[in-house]
């Protein structure tokens, strides 16, 4: 029988920051973005801050209304990556099947580790606390979904075991929104059908789930009934990247198309550099737009020719924007993502409508610029148009914070 662990570092970013700042350990602490640059949201909080009902993702000013004494510290992602790697080294003493789910979470398959799953989880919990100075909550179960629910069930610094015998008592009474990948819209739709708990979802007629959710209905049924059979990947196994994206909240509202183009130039440079690092071509471009009233939308367009050329991606992004925005309001945030990725080594149908010699020249130019930026930083070579407003364009998503959890599927 399979034994799967899910280890979740408690208040990870905040816990690491408190290690580096002992004087704030016993105070309410949150890690947050830069409020001056309007990236002012809560990224993580410690246990003291949780007592004030501070939530991840809410604005810093909202959190401080709940807790005026809240200490907000800036993120240091290099620290978090280091601690994530140290956790992974501890996990590797027990199994080579380790699948990260972001920096602070991982599944472990300890079925062949020669011990009881609960005992292994307790030993890992004690080691991380004593060796690294942070705490983890670990779920132990017979599949990945229930193991994840177990790590969320009791926090902080705890182990929860969910078995074939007790999962109906532990899992089924939980709110349906606690199930992995049941987001707000899915939860809302399930509640409209009278489904409020995981147990109600498990016993809900499968044909009705299929008629309302399509193939996703089968997945919801599988997850809630504990029939997930997905494997935990090996530690050195890399899942296929399905999309690459970056978004940003501008330092000021964007008032015109010229402002938008400057932001898109920076974002497209970042996503295309990352695309080329993975040796991939994109077949689809999508944009995200959020106005000053926090109303947002996304639009996407499939490309005739897969590409990794920055200029072509920028042109597609601007065409999507110009076709879908009428400037009724100023803009607060923009994003660009690339999908339908394929290896650059795969055969590609050439575009009869384009000059392939010119495209090849642009490809070589992009790669030459990549070498310079990788060596000297993203700001060593910049289009002159970005210098019209250095404050607006003076950010580098490629170098600042690019952390992408591995998807479950």
> pTM for this structure?
0.69
What pLDDT does 407 receive?
46
Show the tokens assigned to 9.
């570092």
Antiparallel, parallel or unpaired: β 105-109 and 98-100 = antiparallel
Q: Does one domain contain both 145 and 262?
A: no
Closest CA to 292 of 238, 243, 241, 331: 331
- The verdict on residue 166 lying in a domain is no
Q: Does one domain contain both 193 and 265?
A: no
- The verdict on residue 51 lying in a domain is yes
Find the radius of gyration of the CA atoms of the chain: 23
What pLDDT does 294 receive?
82
Q: Does one domain contain both 201 and 271?
A: no
Q: Does one domain contain both 127 and 202?
A: no
Which of 237, 258, 285 is the endpoint of a domain? Answer: 237
Q: Which class for 194: exposed (0-12), middle (13-18), buried (19 or more C-beta within 10 A)?
A: exposed
Domain encompassing residue 373: 244-400
Domain of residue 286, CATH code: 3.30.1490.100
Whole-number Å distance between alpha carbons of 147 and 142: 7
Whole-number Å distance between alpha carbons of 134 and 41: 23
What pLDDT does 37 receive?
59
Q: Does one domain contain both 194 and 300?
A: no
Q: How many domains does the chain have?
A: 3
Q: Does one domain contain both 88 and 115?
A: yes
Token pair 């070579």: residue: 381
Which of 237, 255, 276 is the endpoint of a domain? Answer: 237
What pLDDT does 399 receive?
61
Averaged pLDDT in 10-residue chunks for the chain of 409 residues: 95 94 94 69 89 87 92 90 94 94 92 92 97 97 97 95 97 95 87 96 96 92 94 73 85 93 95 91 94 90 92 96 94 93 77 76 91 85 89 77 45
Q: Does one domain contain both 149 and 64?
A: yes
What pLDDT does 114 receive?
84
What pLDDT does 211 receive?
94
The catalytic residues are 105
Antiparallel, parallel or unpaired: β 331-339 and 244-254 = antiparallel
Q: Does one domain contain both 293 and 362?
A: yes
């Amino acid at each position: 029988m399979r034994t799967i662990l899910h280890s979740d570092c408690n208040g990870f970013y905040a816990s690491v920051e408190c290690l580096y700042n002992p004087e704030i350990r016993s105070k309410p602490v949150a890690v947050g973005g830069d409020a001056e640059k309007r990236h002012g949201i809560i990224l993580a909080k410690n246990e003291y801050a949780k007592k004030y009902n501070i939530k991840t993702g809410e604005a810093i000013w909202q959190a401080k209304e709940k807790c005026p004494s809240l200490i907000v510290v800036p993120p240091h992602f290099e620290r978090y990556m280091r601690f994530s790697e140290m956790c992974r080294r501890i996990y590797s003493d027990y199994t080579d099947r380790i699948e990260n789910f972001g920096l602070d979470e991982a599944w472990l398959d300890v079925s062949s580790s020669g011990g009881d799953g609960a005992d292994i989880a307790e030993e890992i919990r004690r080691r991380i606390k004593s060796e690294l100075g942070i705490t983890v909550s670990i779920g132990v179960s017979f599949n990945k979904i229930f193991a994840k629910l177990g790590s969320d069930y009791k926090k902080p610094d705890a182990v929860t075991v969910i078995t074939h015998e007790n999962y109906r008592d532990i899992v089924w009474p939980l709110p349906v929104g606690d199930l992995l990948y049941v987001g707000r819209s899915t939860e809302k739709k399930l509640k409209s059908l009278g489904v409020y708990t995981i147990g109600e979802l498990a016993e809900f007629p499968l044909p009705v789930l299929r008629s309302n959710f399509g193939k996703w209905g089968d997945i919801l049924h599988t997850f809630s009934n504990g029939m997930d059979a997905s494997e935990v990947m090996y530690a050195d196994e890399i899942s296929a990247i399905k999309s690459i994206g970056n978004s940003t909240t501008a330092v000021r509202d964007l008032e015109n198309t010229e402002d938008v183009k400057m932001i898109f130039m920076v974002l497209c440079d970042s996503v295309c550099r990352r695309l080329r690092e993975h040796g991939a071509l994109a077949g689809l471009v999508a944009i995200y737009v959020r106005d000053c009233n926090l109303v947002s939308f996304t639009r996407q367009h499939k490309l005739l020719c897969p590409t990794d050329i920055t200029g072509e991606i920028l042109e597609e992004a601007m065409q999507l924007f110009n076709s879908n925005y009428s400037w009724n309001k100023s803009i607060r945030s923009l994003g660009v993502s690339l999908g339908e990725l394929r290896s650059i080594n795969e055969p590609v149908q050439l575009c009869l409508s384009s000059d392939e010699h010119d495209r090849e020249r642009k490809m070589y130019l992009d790669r030459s610029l990549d070498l310079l930026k990788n060596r000297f930083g993203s700001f060593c070579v910049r289009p002159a148009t970005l210098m019209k407003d250095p404050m607006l364009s003076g950010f580098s998503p490629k170098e600042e914070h690019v952390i992408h959890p591995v998807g479950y599927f």
